[in-house]
Structure 1
Amino acid sequence: MGRASHGLKATTSSILLLIGTSLASAGETVDYSADGADYQGYYAPASGEAKGLVLVIHDWDGLTDYEERRADMLAEMGYDAFALDLYGAGNRPETTDAKKAETAKLYDDREAMRARILAGLETARERSSSDQAVVMGYCFGGAAVLELARSGAAEDVAGYATFHGGLATPEGQSYPADTAPILIAHGGADTSIPISDAADLARTLEEAGITYGLHVYSGAPHAFTVFGSDRYQERADENSWSVFQAFLSDNLGASEG
């Protein structure tokens, strides 16, 4: 057990060291449509037979190089990965006000949010040989992941993962009893999403009998996984990615080696 844990940690560190250096782009831009609108995602296929499919949902910036990097990392690990687009082709807000406006549109129209996620999942499955998927997201994307989980609308989803995402459950919503396992990675020093929201979500999932894992990283601020930002915390990023690797292995039925 000790050697396996050490090996997983070394693998995680090795992968993360490639970020910003030698990790080559493994994927391609994918144009697709949903409800008559154009979207542009990013698909990174595994080399060889995939262990499963991972859907990546972006933060409030929209789909950027960050999510593409994460998709490439997943492809390196042996998973097909698709980073979807919730805003629309060419819509990548740059100012804080513009980002708030784009997320507000989807928070106010959660049916549209769910429909766009499902369109991204369908697009990913058209390219992947694997039907079983894990859906993961960052910040706003983490809130979107939980929105999909509560809807129960996605088939063949083996797990959900949210990294420093919004965790509050909207009034009138709940998690179906057959919801797939949920991984929650949260920063203990996150001032945007209070730790009380994490505790409330854990209580909600516990009462619903849903399998979950809540991991809180001391001193980690909001957006602690974002490479190159002043909020990036290497320890929390590496540890949460290691936990996520194990989560993928457990729920997609593949060994990380």
Structure 2
Amino acid sequence: MPLIEHTVDYVDDGVKLEAFCAVDDSQSGRRPAVLICHTWAGRNEFVKDKARKLAALGYVGFALDMYGDGKVGANNEENARLMRPLRADRSLLQRRITAALAAVKELPSVDIDKIAAIGFCFGGLCVLDLARTGAALNGVVSFHGLLDPPSNNTKGKQIKAKVLVLHGYDDPMATPQQMVALQNELTEAGADWQLISYGNTMHGFTNPLANDPAFGTVYQPVTERRSWLAMQNFLEEIFRAPRFTLKISRCFDQRHIGILIPMHQGKKLPTFQWFLS
């Protein structure tokens, strides 16, 4: 399966951003796109690998950049320094990820009516904030994301995207109490949401390099597999071709029953007739 990998440059308020894009070159035509938002470490190999895996599933994998110039932190201190301005200014965070959504829509391989966003840790917070803005996309998926709500004016906005939250019950960075608060928030916003809470699972469960119980991050391969399958099922559901309705236009006699005019979003599709023998 030949994957084409390339960078996509885009800009947010003068800040140059650099996404990593992967697409299956054996397919033709437009296809759904999945934005991947990185952890606090930046747009590193972890999210680039997720883009490749999503491309292998038939999507455009778009690993976006929240920091600029594809910056990657070398340690926890650098990661925190890179993340801090966006955590402190959620309006900036929301504008930055909205710029990525606009950028992916410009790609010639993307079906702009079929776009989702997934995120890990800090990236989970980012995709939830994207949904909180009322952005028009099909769905968002948060993997062990941070769950605290923004203090800006997104409260009260209707969430249009379907939401899937995949979370470890033992995650010290987003507690069960915060999970309940998020569920209440999503319900009040009219969201179509799901939350799966995995037992015996801490923060960072998708990251094979996470091995610091004192910090609260531990890789959990079983939960990683289950959560990825849950995401795949979710994407298949939200990108499924819409059903059309069948309208009987007229009837003639008992032998010639009528003409079917399939309708979708007010448009006529190819007409069918049927007869009794």
Find out whether 1:107 has 2:94 as its counterpart: no
- 1:175–1:99 distance in 2 versus 1, CA, 3 Å: farther
* Alpha-carbon shift at residue 114 of structure 1 (Å): 1.7
Q: Structure 1 residue 24: deviation in Å?
A: 8.3
The answer to whether the aligner puts 1:55 opposite 2:35 as a matched pair is yes
Q: Is residue 2:47 matched to residue 1:67?
A: yes
Larger radius of gyration: 2
Equivalent residue for 2:6, pick from 28, 52, 67: 28
1:129 maps onto 2:110 in alignment: yes
Once the two structures are TM-superposed, the CA of residue 37 in structure 1 deviates from its matched residue by: 2.0
For the 8 Å contact 1:34–1:116, the answer to whether it is kept is: yes
For residue 195 of structure 1, the aligned residue among 176, 182, 186 is 176
TM-score, length-scaled by structure 2: 0.77
**Equivalent residue runs for 1:1-257 within 5 Å:** 26-46=4-24, 47-48=26-27, 49=29, 51-127=31-107, 128-131=109-112, 132-152=114-134, 154-155=135-136, 157-171=137-151, 173-174=154-155, 176-230=157-211, 231-253=218-240
- By percentage of residues, which structure has more strand? 2
The one-letter code sitting in structure 2 at the alignment partner of 1:97 is: E
C-alpha distance in 1 between matches for 2:95 and 2:167: 26
CA 1:91–1:176: 2 relative to 1, 3 Å: same
What SS is found at the alignment partner of 2:228?
helix
Instruction: Give, in angstroms, the shift of residue 50 of structure 1.
Output: 5.1
Q: Distance in 2 between matches of 1:125 and 1:236?
A: 32
Structure 2 residue runs of 5 or longer lacking an equivalent are 212-217, 242-277
Task: Kindly provide the amino acid, as one letter, of the partner of residue 149 in structure 1.
Answer: A
Secondary structure of the structure 2 residue equivalent to 1:215:
strand
More helix by share: 1
Q: How far apart in 2 are the matches of 1:74 and 1:233?
A: 21
Any idea what SS the aligned residue of 2:210 has?
coil
Q: Secondary structure at the match of 1:45?
A: strand
Q: Secondary structure at the match of 2:51?
A: helix
- Say what the alpha-carbon RMSD is for the aligned residues: 2.1
Deviation at 1:30, TM superposition (A): 2.4
How many pairs align?
231
Residue 201 of structure 1: how far off its partner (Å): 0.8
Opposite residue 19 of structure 2, the aligned amino acid is G
Decide whether the 8 Å contact of 1:58 with 1:138 is kept in 2: yes
SS at structure 2 position matched to 1:174: coil
SS of the residue 2:110 aligns to: coil
Note if contact 1:60-1:100 (Cα within 8 Å) is conserved in structure 2.
yes
Q: Distance in 1 between matches of 2:66 and 2:77?
A: 17
List alignment gaps of at least 5 residues for structure 1: 1-22
Tell me which moved more, 124-133 or 159-168. 124-133
Deviation at 1:206, TM superposition (A): 2.4
TM-superposed CA distance for 1:208, in Å, is 3.4
Is the contact between residue 150 and residue 175 of structure 1 (CA under 8 Å) also seen in structure 2? Answer: no
1:147-195 alpha-carbon deviations (Å, 9 max, x no partner): 111112x33x001110100112134542533422100000112112112
Q: Distance in 2 between matches of 1:85 and 1:185?
A: 22
The alpha-carbon deviation at position 26 of structure 1 amounts to 4.5
**2 CA distance for matches of 1:81 and 1:167?**
24
The alignment's TM-score, normalised by the length of structure 1, stands at: 0.83
Q: Give the superposition deviation at 1:222.
A: 0.1
| Bigger RCO of structures 1 and 2 (CA < 8 A, at least 6 apart) | 1
Distance 2:70 2:222 in 1: 34
Deviation at 1:51?
4.1
